[in-house]
């Protein structure tokens, strides 16, 4: 009887500690949102910098105009 009184609460605590993992769709949505946010940040960072190709084209067009 004592053993049952000790095992039952321990078993209930172990079961209570188990969590269900998120469904595939939820995990996919979360990762997709993180990837989208990362891509937007990268695009913004690239847009803020001058591309060496843009600079070279600008210099070449200046030379042609002279």
Terminal Cα distance for the chain, rounded: 101
Distance separating alpha carbons of residues 63 and 65, to the nearest angstrom: 5
pLDDT, one tens digit per residue, over 16-56 is 666 778 899 999 999 999 999 999 999 999 888 866 665 55
The structural domains of the chain, with segments of one domain joined by +, span 23-66
User: What confidence tier does 9 reach under pLDDT thresholds 50, 70, 90?
Assistant: confident
Specify the pTM.
0.46
């Amino acid at each position: 009887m004592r053993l049952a009184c000790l095992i039952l609460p321990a078993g209930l605590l172990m079961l209570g500690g188990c969590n269900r993992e998120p469904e595939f769709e939820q995990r996919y949505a979360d990762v997709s949102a993180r990837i989208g946010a990362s891509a937007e940040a990268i695009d913004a960072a690239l847009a803020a910098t001058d591309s060496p190709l843009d600079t070279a084209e600008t210099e070449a067009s200046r030379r042609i105009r002279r």
